[in-house]
Amino acid sequence: MELRDYLRMIGRQWWVLAVVVLFALGVTQLINRRTPAEYRATAVFFLSANGPESTSILDGSRFVAFRLSTYTELITGARMAGDIAKSSNTGMAPGEIQQRIGVISSADSALLTVTVTDPSPQRAQKIAQAVIKLLPPMIETLEARPAPLGPATVVTPIEPVARINPRPVSPRPMHNNALAVAMGLLLGAAAGVIREVSDRSIRDADALPGLTGVPVLALIPDDPKARRRKGPFVSESGSPRAEALRQLRTNIQYSGRPAKILAVTSAMPGEGRSSAACGLAILFAEAGQRVLIVDASLRRPRLAAFLGRDGAPGLATVLVGAATLDQVLQPWGTGLWLLAGGHRPPNPSELLDSPKMAELIDELRGRFDKIILDSPPLLPVTDGAVVAARADGAILLVRARRTTPAQVTAAMRALAAVDAKVLGTVFTMVAGPRRRPGLPTGDGPPGPASPPAHRPGWWNAVALSNAA
């Protein structure tokens, strides 16, 4: 992988990093709040060897180094803790005092540092002061030699009074927060890499021809701005998404397979079928054709809400004989009509496969130049395959980084089972427009130019976004 591939991965998985870092910071804040503050007092001693004058400095240093480990065990032992408990008014048992005393020493130094950590700074200083008072006479007693030699080792306090750090040594918020951020970034990066490796979705349109055996007609980029608007989900006329939809219209017109009735379908829900169908219908009407868009997704009709029309009378109403076609058709701008889904029937598959549906399709074929069918997804239910079988051609929408190769293969198998003619695939919700030779984008057609745009009204300036 190149550097830009890693940068793209970070761009895709940034939210994983953010979530893990925020979680780590949250845990750290909880620890900081619930951990009681502790203070530390220190007492520093200087050790020197009290040997004959003929003893070299090196021999004396070695002697002191050998004594350091012994004095460490002595200071942290039960005898010292018992003496402190008796001599100082701390109210603590010897075992508790013993747990609070620590020793810092080094083999190449003659200094011995005693630390006392306690939630009370006064008590910590009191215990450390007791060590200053008790340790020298204790060492003198243990290291006693016959007169006039004196003790073998002399322990001298550097300062007569124990020092207390006014700031707590635990918890350390800044240190803990920095550690949380570092661990969060590390764990977040690992989680992001695992997500990338385990992701089996289709990331690039180059894989689609090999899976489907049909060409890629367009790459439709995501348009986050359109989803934040009220009313119909629309993109600006000059946006990359609108230009990509125009390119899709051009490629359908010049695909070599005349398709007066076009079914827009996908393998799974949420791949942009309804929005792409609306965008195509608007753009075909923009080119001067009489266009009808039909909401054939009877289980979850959405086109009426997208276009701001009444969704109660519609296709299901006509199929059950409760209304005529002219009673339910709704104009939308110049050259475009909507046949909404209507009330949700209990038997959508039977209605779509009924002779009444075949008669309706024949009637619509004679009244409109182009009919766009918003078909249900192919894999969850059989409705999508039934609708695609009645169309002259179908386009299969594949959502970037969500649809898997297995789902695309299953969708193509479902279309082949009903002998549906697949014109090509459309790669939807791409991160942004991409310039690739041989693949259509919003930057310009690779083949013949689009027909001159006919602009009959305000509505032609927009194309629906990828909200569906």
The string of pLDDT tens digits covering residues 59-98 is 555 666 667 888 888 999 999 999 999 988 888 999 999 9
212 and 357 fall within a common domain: yes
User: What pLDDT sits at residue 39?
Assistant: 94
The terminus-to-terminus CA distance of the chain in angstroms comes to 34
Helix 355-367 and helix 383-390, axial crossing angle in degrees, nearest 10:
40
Q: In which element (H, E) is residue 413 found?
A: helix 405-417
Rounded distance between C-alpha atoms, residue 5 and residue 268, angstroms: 28
Residue 26 shares a structural domain with residue 93? no
Where does a domain end: 115, 139, 164? 164
Domains in the chain: how many in total?
A: 3
E-state strands within 32-189? 39-49, 101-105, 111-118, 153-157, 163-164
* Statement to judge: residues 192 and 331 lie in one domain: no
Q: Which two tokens stand for residue 252?
A: 């359908």
* 280, burial (CB in 10 Å: exposed 0-12, middle 13-18, buried 19+): buried
The reply to whether 146 and 213 lie within a common domain is no
Q: What is the pLDDT of residue 451?
A: 34
We report the CATH number of the domain holding residue 122 as 3.30.70.1130
Domain encompassing residue 332: 202-464
Task: Supply the pLDDT for residue 189.
Answer: 84
pLDDT at 312: 84
Provide the pLDDT for residue 446. Answer: 33
Q: Which helix (H) or strand (E) holds 59?
A: helix 57-75
Q: Are residues 59 and 191 in the same domain?
A: no
Domain limit, last residue, from 197, 214, 240: 197
CA–CA dist 40, 418 (Å, integer):
80
Q: Which two tokens stand for residue 244?
A: 């990509």
User: Using one digit for the tens of pLDDT, what is the confidence trace for 175-203?
Assistant: 999 999 999 989 988 888 787 777 788 98
Of 118, 141, 164, which residue sits at a domain end? 164
Q: Are residues 43 and 28 in the same domain?
A: no
142-172 in b/e form (b: 16+ CB < 10 A) is ebeeeeeeebbbbbebeeeebebeeebeebe
pLDDT computed for residue 59 by the predictor: 52
Residues 191 and 237 in one domain: no
pLDDT of residue 461: 35
Co-location of 254 and 355 in the same domain: yes
Give me the pLDDT at residue 308, please. Answer: 86
Q: What is the pLDDT of residue 226?
A: 57
Same domain, yes or no: 149 and 219: no
Task: Pick out the chain residues at pLDDT < 50.
Answer: 53-58, 230-233, 433-468
Round to whole Å and give the CA distance between 440 and 433.
10
pLDDT at 447: 34
pLDDT at position 44 is 94
Q: Please name every residue paired with 105 in a beta bridge, in sequence order, or none if there are none.
A: 112
Q: Check whether residue 243 and residue 191 sit in a common domain.
A: no
| Token pair belonging to 55 | 């003893």
The CATH code of the domain that includes 312 is 3.40.50.300
What's the mean pLDDT when you consider all of the chain? 83
Claim to verify: residue 264 and residue 245 sit in the same structural domain: yes
Task: Kindly list the strands in the beta sheet with 216-221, ordered across the sheet, starting from the edge strand earlier in the chain.
Answer: 216-221, 422-430, 393-399, 261-266, 370-374, 291-295, 336-339, 330-331
Question: pTM for the complete prediction?
Answer: 0.62
**pLDDT for position 467:** 38
Q: Which amino acid, 109?
A: S
191 and 151 in a common domain: no
Token representation of residue 347: 């038997």
Q: Which amino acid, 406?
A: A
Torsion sign over Cα 244, 246, 249, 251 = negative
**Exposed e or buried b for every residue in 26-41, given b needs 16+ CB within 10 A?**
eebeeebeeeeebbbb
